[in-house]
Amino acid sequence: MRYLILGVFLVAAACGSSGETSVAQPQAGAPVRTGGPHTDFRPAFAGQTRAPETRSGVRLNIQSIARLEHPWAIAFLPDGRALVTERPGRMRIVTRDGDVSAPIAGLPEISAHGQGGLMDVTLGPNFAQDRLIYWSFVEPRERGDSTSVARGRLSEDGARVSEVQVIFRQAPWRSNGHYGSRLIFDRDGRLFVTMGDRQSSPSERVAQNLATTIGKVVRINPDGSIPSDNPFVGRNGVPAAIWSYGHRNIQGADLHPETGELWEVEHGPRGGDELNVVRGGRNYGWPAITYGESYSGEPIADNPVREGMEQPLYYWDPVIAPGDMDFYRGELFPWRGDVLIASLTTNTLVRLRLEGERVVGEERFDLDHGRVRDLAEVSDGSLWVLTDEDNGEILRLTPR
Ligand SMILES: [Ca+2]
Ligand SMILES: [Ca+2]
């Protein structure tokens, strides 16, 4: 282990009357306490991992407002209610007070097994006029189920979707994992779909193969057609929808509030979860380069740096298993411009402080309600968080 463990004096402080535990401030420069890394790779630049712990002084008020089965994604409607998906294949409308509607009718058949089912949902860029919503799901296919994207018109009363069209289909693959996915409209109204490598073996190098949409981010128009300025348009044998490649499994993404570029968090294997800014035509390396190793401990890459492949802005080893990520845009918390990440394995909300494209601080908030899947900022700056459990919850987070 090459990381210098600084003299960190973690002193358990007395538990307050509210029952939360806390620890004394570690010395300046010490990272969040996580245990040792699995690999002994050196970061490509200072601060690429284990940024100093940065305390914002926030204490969270955590309120459970509704229960759902494996809730996966939240999309707020203009009236303040939210569309919320459940991975087994239901979409519902939830009010600010947590009243949950019956499932919305009219969704096409969804194949729910393993890590997949109904996943993300987002409003179209002209929702106020056309009421089009977009969702990602695992579609039953003859040659192996895979990630698809559909859109449909939400009725005025929110009870059903109609005029449903499947606008994108990832190539099929026979596995139950690594479906992605997040749906992010860019500022020009084009749709990014972030996906995964469908748990293909690293030795198959599928995410590096430009002939398939597996292990890729794609960019499409809202009707499923291909933007003429996509990076691989006109390249023989390459699906023109591809925006970037070499991705393992992306379940969290957002547009940078200033630059409008796509940022994503990506699951690594054992070690090597990543934060990336995703640019058209670039290769993000999986599985040719990674800061992780296989679950059996076998190496995947002998070197995490390679010419022509992008370095993550930041990585975690051990992993956080990132669900969604959002840039915080509000003012209720003192986090404006920070990256907030839902962590499935640590049951925490992870906050990254940025300076440009460098991570300069990390903080974690122990929510202690199970696997954190999604987060969404409410118009008042509070947060809704989903826990991906059989008896999952919508949690409302406000500062104390
Ligand atoms: Ca990578
Ligand atoms: Ca979100």
For residue 283, the CA-to-ligand 1 centroid distance in Å is 8
Distance CA 201, CA 174 (A): 12
Judge whether residue 9 has pLDDT over 60. no
pLDDT digits (tens, 9 = 90+) for 69-118: 999 999 999 999 999 999 999 999 999 999 999 999 999 999 999 999 99
Backbone angles phi, psi at 397, to 5 degrees: -110, 125
pLDDT at residue 28 in the model: 55
Ligand at minimal distance from the CA of 306 is 1
pLDDT at residue 199 in the model: 97
3-state secondary structure the chain: CCCCCCCCCCCECCCCCCCCCCECCCCCCCECCCCCCCCCCCCCCCCCECCEECCCCCCEEEEEEEEECCEEEEEECCCCCEEEEECCCEEEEECCCCCECCCCECCCCCCCECCECEEEEEECCCHHHHCEEEEEEEECCCCCCEEEEEEEEECCCCCEEEEEEEEEECCCCCCCCCCCCEEEECCCCCEEEECECCCCCHHHCHHHCCCCCCCEEEEECCCCCCCCCCCCCCCCCCCCCEEEECCCEEEEEEECCCCCCEEEEECCCECCEEEEEECCCCECCCCCCCCCECCCCCECCCCCCCCCCCCCCEEECCCCCEEEEEECCCCCCCCCCCEEEEECCCCEEEEEEEECCEEEEEEEEECCCCCEEEEEECCCCCEEEEECCCCEEEEEEEEC
Mean pLDDT, rounded, of the chain: 93
Options 38, 70, 178, 267, the catalytic residue = 178
For residue 274, the CA-to-ligand 1 centroid distance in Å is 7
Judge whether residue 23 has pLDDT over 50. no
Distance CA 136, CA 91 (A): 12
Cα–Cα–Cα angle for 196, 148, 151, rounded to 5 degrees: 135
pLDDT at residue 4 in the model: 38
The answer to whether 38 is a known catalytic residue is no
For residue 350, the CA-to-ligand 2 centroid distance in Å is 14
pLDDT digits (tens, 9 = 90+) for 38-67: 999 999 999 999 999 999 999 999 999 999
pLDDT digits (tens, 9 = 90+) for 146-180: 999 999 999 999 999 999 999 999 999 999 999 99
Judge whether residue 296 has pLDDT over 60. yes
Judge whether residue 340 has pLDDT over 60. yes
Residue 16: band (very low, low, confident or very high) from pLDDT cuts 50, 70, 90: very low
Ligand at minimal distance from the CA of 326 is 2
For residue 297, the CA-to-ligand 1 centroid distance in Å is 19
Judge whether residue 14 has pLDDT over 70. no
For residue 6, the CA-to-ligand 1 centroid distance in Å is 28
Ligand at minimal distance from the CA of 207 is 1
Residues 247/194, Cβ–Cβ less than 8 Å:
yes
Judge whether residue 310 has pLDDT over 50. yes
End-to-end CA distance of the chain: 39
More confident site: 144 or 131: 131
For residue 246, the CA-to-ligand 1 centroid distance in Å is 7
pLDDT at residue 29 in the model: 86
Residues 84/92, Cβ–Cβ less than 8 Å:
yes
pLDDT digits (tens, 9 = 90+) for 225-253: 999 999 999 999 999 999 999 999 999 99
Ligand at minimal distance from the CA of 83 is 2
Share of the chain above pLDDT 70, in %: 93
